[in-house]
């Protein structure tokens, strides 16, 4: 029975990822979850008391996986500069991934404090890694630089997601150049 419940829960989370990546947080509704999973709407409530609870669990499950992928890429890099490059590249490489799209949709939405806290904690872990690399480069204000660097990544993510003028590779290269060399390019 417990195994069946955990499979249902997994199916609900997977449906939530798809809904979020396709339509943002507005698309994440209990009727839509019920429809995607073939469960009765009342059954969805047995697993999650609210949309916020679904979002919170996705944060708990997906953020650490995503952060671990960025962290692993940074650990494979040698120099602080290569770590910064890996930090930017790996985040942008994950853009097409449904889990990442769901995470971005969640980040952009109005969330309850619990989910926001989990996101901040996961982001905090990533930012801490980049602060260390910037510190090793002798940056005067590594924490500030880390926040600005994440701003470059976030802007590049949005640009890729819009699927506008440039190819994702061109956006990635521009973001890496800006991260490493500033506006001198």
State how far the Cα of 180 lies from the Cα of 153, in Å rounded to an integer: 12
State how far the Cα of 16 lies from the Cα of 62, in Å rounded to an integer: 12
Joined together, the tokens standing for residue 46 give 């047995």
Q: Please state the pTM of the whole predicted model.
A: 0.75
pLDDT, one tens digit per residue, over 17-76 is 999 888 877 899 999 999 999 999 999 999 999 888 888 888 788 878 888 889 999 999
């Amino acid at each position: 029975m417990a195994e069946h419940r955990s499979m249902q829960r997994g199916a609900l989370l997977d449906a939530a990822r798809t809904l979020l990546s396709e339509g943002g947080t507005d698309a994440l509704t209990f009727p839509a979850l019920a429809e995607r999973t073939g469960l009765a709407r009342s059954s969805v409530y047995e697993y999650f008391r609210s949309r916020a609870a679904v979002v919170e669990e996705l944060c708990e499950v997906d953020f650490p996986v995503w952060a671990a992928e960025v962290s692993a890429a940074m650990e494979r890099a040698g120099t602080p500069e290569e770590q910064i490059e890996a930090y930017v590249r790996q985040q942008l490489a994950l853009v097409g991934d449904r889990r990442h799209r769901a995470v971005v949709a969640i980040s952009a939405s109005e969330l309850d404090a619990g989910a926001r806290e989990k996101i901040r904690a996961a982001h905090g872990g990533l930012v801490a890694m980049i602060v260390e690399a910037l510190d090793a480069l002798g940056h005067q204000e590594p924490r500030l630089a880390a926040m600005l660097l994440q701003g470059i990544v976030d802007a590049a993510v949005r640009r890729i997601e819009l699927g506008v003028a440039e190819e994702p590779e061109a956006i990635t290269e521009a973001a890496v150049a800006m991260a490493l060399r500033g506006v001198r390019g």
